[in-house]
């Protein structure tokens, strides 16, 4: 990464120099992404599915039923909730 910084500075291209500042601002996070095998893909998938349910559930009059539909979709089946 440091070698890349040097090569970009030697090139003198202004757009690349701006990208270097972005890399330097996020350097710790970038290096951690290579060092650790962690990601937020699972959580992003759950969020995306919930948003799709929300779009399709337009017209639910009661929030508790919408909430139960989302939780049921994400397989939280041990809920102690009674629907009237």
* One pLDDT digit (tens) per residue for the chain, 84 residues: 889 888 888 888 888 888 888 889 999 988 888 888 877 887 888 889 889 888 887 777 888 888 888 888 877 655 555 555
Domain that holds residue 8: 1-35
Spell out the alpha helix ranges (H) of the chain.
2-11, 14-25, 27-35, 41-56, 63-73
**Same domain as 44, residue 31:** no
How is residue 44 annotated by DSSP? H
pLDDT at 77: 52
Question: Could you tell me the pTM of the whole model?
Answer: 0.49
pLDDT at 61: 82
Domains in the chain: how many in total?
A: 2
Q: Is residue 26 part of a domain?
A: yes
- CA pair distance 73, 29, nearest whole angstrom: 33
25 and 46 fall within a common domain: no
- What is each CA distance from 27 to 9, 19, 31, 55, in whole angstroms? 17, 12, 6, 37
């Amino acid at each position: 990464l440091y070698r890349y910084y040097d090569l970009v500075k030697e090139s003198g291209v202004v757009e690349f120099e701006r990208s270097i500042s972005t890399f330097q601002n996020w350097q710790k996070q970038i290096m951690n992404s290579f060092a650790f095998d962690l990601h937020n893909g699972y959580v992003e998938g759950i969020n995306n599915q919930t948003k799709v349910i929300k779009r399709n559930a337009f017209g639910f009059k009661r929030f508790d039923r919408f909430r139960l539909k989302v939780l049921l979709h994400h397989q939280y089946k041990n809920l102690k909730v009674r629907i009237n």
